Amino acid sequence: MIIVLAGLIGVGKTTIAKEVSKRLDIPLYSIDDDKKKVYKEHPNYDYFLANNIPFPDDIRKKAFGAALDGLRILSRKNRHCIVEETFHKKNIREPFFAEVETLFGSMILTLVTADEATVRLRLKDRSGHMVGYGMYLSFREQFEPFEHVDYTFDTTKDFEKTMEDYLLFLRAKIEKRI
């Protein structure tokens, strides 16, 4: 099973993914690493980042292709995996979801949410990340809702309680697959 954490920039996807990975001993695959490599090859890399312009779909698809290559390798030795990304556009996420579901046998889609004030605070002085609040606003404009979500994790609520509930949900899904 692949656990997919989706949601806008700054909602807490990476924090949740790292915590789930640690607590359930499931590998976390970093799509961000693939994006950084692929995006840096684009001639307008600095311009896009400086002006909060999302990268074109063809470049995003290339990054997702690189991620799929890495996930194919990971799936040979692991029954489960976690990934996190915005997955804000249907035409890019749908083929990706179909492929990872085939690789890992099933998929759990978790939508990670946070209110605007929380996101603004988190992104205000964000370091070590490619993008900030301006890019969040750009992605929010382009965000296409999911047709089906298995779980919604609101990071503005009591984090530890919400995490425990989420882990119970995931453990039940994993046990069904064993």
Residue 95 predicted with pLDDT over 90: yes
Nearest residue to 81 (alpha-carbon basis) of 154, 133, 11, 5: 5
Distance between CA 100 and CA 149 in Å, rounded?
Answer: 16
Higher pLDDT, 134 or 28: 28
**Is the pLDDT assigned to residue 55 strictly greater than 60?**
yes
Across residues 17-45, what is the average pLDDT?
A: 96
E strand or H helix that includes residue 135: helix 133-142
What's the mean pLDDT in 100-115? Answer: 97
**Contact partners, residue 81, CB within 8 Å, separation at least 6:** 2, 3, 26, 27, 28, 29, 71, 74, 75, 104
> 75-89, pLDDT tens digit by residue?
999 999 999 999 999
Report residue 168 as tokens. 């119970």
- For the CA atoms of the chain, what is the radius of gyration? 16
The residues, ordered by sequence, that sit 6+ positions from 44 with a Cβ below 8 Å of its Cβ are none
The pLDDT of residue 133: 87
Q: Where do the domains of the chain lie, and which CATH numbers do they carry?
A: 2-177 (3.40.50.300)
What's the CA gap between 170 and 118, in Å, rounded?
Answer: 26
